[in-house]
């Protein structure tokens, strides 16, 4: 599968919270994110969410509750013309030292194995330094930093670490415009 767009969730698709997103009532789409997801879908970019969700380990949310939030998110995206192919999340805290928590590439590798993804043509969009580092660690073709969520702080961290996103944009909608302008699979033969 080519031209997969990996998206972080909190701070990219929906508003982030220092208290975590613990229920569907706390989940609020960022302005333009539903339009952006529709645009990716219409241009035949498969969308896969890659997200750290330590709320599971912290016992703030059950797996069932998180699945409900994700089901509702997917239904909302679908009713607005978009489609999320899959969601991969890490339930651990940093101290667990797992291979699936970003910036480690475990979730992307899991998605690659399940869908036979060509990582060289894939794109990661995130609002944190961990997202950009994850993209580089996994070998994604492009990494885009959005300034929603933690994007402004992430810029400083990435500069200190000398890790460079391919582009920095204000939001997911501008990221999608950048992606579509550069390589729309709608104009390419389907080689998936």
- Find where tokens 């995206």 sit: 77
Which residue has 């969410």 as its token pair? 49
CA distance 78 to 96: 34
Binning the chain into helix, strand and coil, the percentages to the nearest 5 are 45, 15, 40
Distance CA(125)–CA(136), nearest Å, equals: 12
The yes-or-no answer on residue 71 being catalytic is no
Backbone angles phi, psi at 95, to 5 degrees: -65, -15
Q: What are phi and psi of 151, to 5 degrees?
A: -55, -40
**Annotation says 8 is catalytic:** yes
Query: Which residues are marked as active site?
Result: 8, 10
């Amino acid at each position: 599968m080519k031209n997969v767009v990996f998206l972080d969730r909190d701070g990219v698709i929906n508003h982030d919270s220092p208290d975590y997103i613990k229920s569907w009532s706390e989940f609020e789409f960022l302005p333009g994110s539903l339009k952006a997801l529709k645009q990716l879908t219409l241009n035949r970019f498969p969308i896969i969410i890659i997200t750290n969700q330590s709320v599971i380990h912290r016992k703030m949310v059950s797996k069932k509750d998180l699945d409900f939030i994700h089901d509702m998110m997917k239904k909302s995206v679908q009713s607005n013309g978009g489609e999320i192919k899959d969601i991969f999340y890490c339930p651990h805290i940093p101290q667990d030292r797992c291979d699936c928590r970003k910036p480690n590439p475990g979730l992307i590798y899991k998605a690659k194995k399940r869908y036979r993804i060509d990582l060289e043509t894939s794109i990661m969009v995130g609002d944190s330094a961990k997202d950009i580092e994850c993209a580089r660690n996994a070998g994604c073709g492009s990494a885009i930093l959005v300034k929603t969520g933690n994007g402004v702080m992430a810029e400083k961290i990435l500069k200190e670490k000398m890790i460079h996103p391919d582009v920095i944009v204000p939001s997911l909608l501008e990221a999608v415009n950048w992606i579509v302008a550069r390589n729309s699979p709608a104009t390419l033969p389907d080689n998936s």
